[in-house]
């Protein structure tokens, strides 16, 4: 009988570990242990997600840099209104489940505001370098130690293009000699100017 009562008493007494998690918790905390041992209150920010789980935590770069191994799972924001090289090293040097979202967050070239938008040269190990234009985004993931990524596609200027026409000294190199008029100059130079403005904002 005495043994039964002793066993019952032991069952009713909370363990030391359970006692650590009693009471009112602070906001954004959980009961557990990061390093092992007796559990207690742990800040949720201390619980690191898997590198394969997107968290949309912002990691910003405004100049020449390489993607850090801690950028896995984050949104890598390239900005600074400057053209620079961003390198992504060999996939084998990152976590096997690494994935990230890369975005050029410069403003998308508003009219008369070209100084605020620049492309970013992206160098992914194993691929030909390309330019990520303002507003473009692509997803990157480590697949069996080889990078795979979504093509950002052709860049679409979302603001109205601005054309500058020189009526005094312009010419039409695509036509036979003829009197230079305003309409002829517009036809000769409007389309080439748009091509140049769209590809020289790096």
For the segment 73-112, what is each residue's pLDDT rounded down to a tens digit? Answer: 999 999 998 999 999 999 999 999 999 999 999 876 665 5
In tens, the pLDDT along 12-70 reads 544 444 456 777 777 878 887 777 777 778 776 666 566 777 888 999 999 999 999 99
Closest alpha carbon to 111 in 70, 147, 159, 58: 159
Give the pLDDT of residue 4.
Answer: 55
CA angle 85, 132, 98 (to 5 degrees): 80
64, 85 Cβ separation under 8 angstroms: yes
- The closest alpha carbon to 120, from 143, 147, 94, 86, belongs to 86
Residue 96: CB atoms within 10 A of its CB come to: 13
Dump pLDDT digits (tens) for 109-144. 665 556 678 899 999 999 999 999 998 999 999 999
Res 184: pLDDT: 46
What domains appear along the chain, each with residue ranges and CATH number? Answer: 2-45 (no CATH), 58-149 (2.60.120), 161-202 (no CATH)
Phi-psi region of 85 (alpha: psi -120 to 50; beta: other; left: phi over 0): beta
**Interatomic CA distance for residues 113 and 125, integer angstroms:** 33
pTM of the model: 0.59
Residues 118 and 168: beta-carbon distance below 8 Å: no
Token pair 């008029």 is found at 181
Give the helix/strand (H/E) hosting 17: helix 16-19
Query: Residue 38 — φ and ψ, nearest 5°?
Result: -70, 125
Q: Are 99 and 61 in contact (CB under 8 A)?
A: no
Model pLDDT, residue 45: 63
User: Would you say 137 and 92 are in contact if contact means Cβ atoms under 8 Å apart?
Assistant: no
In angstroms, what CA-CA distances link 153 with 120, 130, 159, 177? 14, 11, 18, 40
Instruction: Give the whole-number percent of the chain exceeding pLDDT 90.
Output: 40
Q: Which of 197, 105, 121 lies closest to 159, judged by CA?
A: 197
């Amino acid at each position: 009988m005495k043994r039964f009562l002793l066993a019952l008493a032991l069952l009713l007494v909370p363990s030391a570990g359970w006692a650590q998690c009693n009471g009112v918790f602070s906001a954004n905390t959980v009961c557990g242990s990061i390093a092992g041992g007796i559990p207690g209150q742990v800040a949720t920010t201390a619980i690191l997600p898997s590198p394969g789980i997107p968290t949309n935590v912002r990691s910003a770069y405004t100049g020449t840099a390489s993607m850090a191994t801690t950028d896995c799972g984050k949104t890598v924001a390239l900005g600074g209104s400057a053209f620079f090289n961003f390198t992504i090293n060999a996939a084998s040097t990152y976590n096997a489940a690494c994935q990230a979202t890369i975005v050029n967050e410069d403003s998308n070239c508003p009219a008369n505001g070209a100084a605020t938008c620049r492309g970013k040269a992206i160098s992914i190990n194993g691929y030909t370098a390309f330019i990520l234009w303002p507003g473009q985004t692509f997803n990157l993931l480590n697949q069996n130690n080889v990078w795979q990524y979504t093509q950002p596609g052709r860049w679409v200027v979302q603001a109205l293009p601005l054309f500058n026409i020189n009526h005094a000294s312009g010419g039409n190199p695509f036509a036979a000699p003829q009197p230079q008029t305003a309409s002829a100059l517009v036809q000769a130079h409007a389309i080439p100017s748009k091509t140049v403005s769209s590809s020289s904002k790096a």
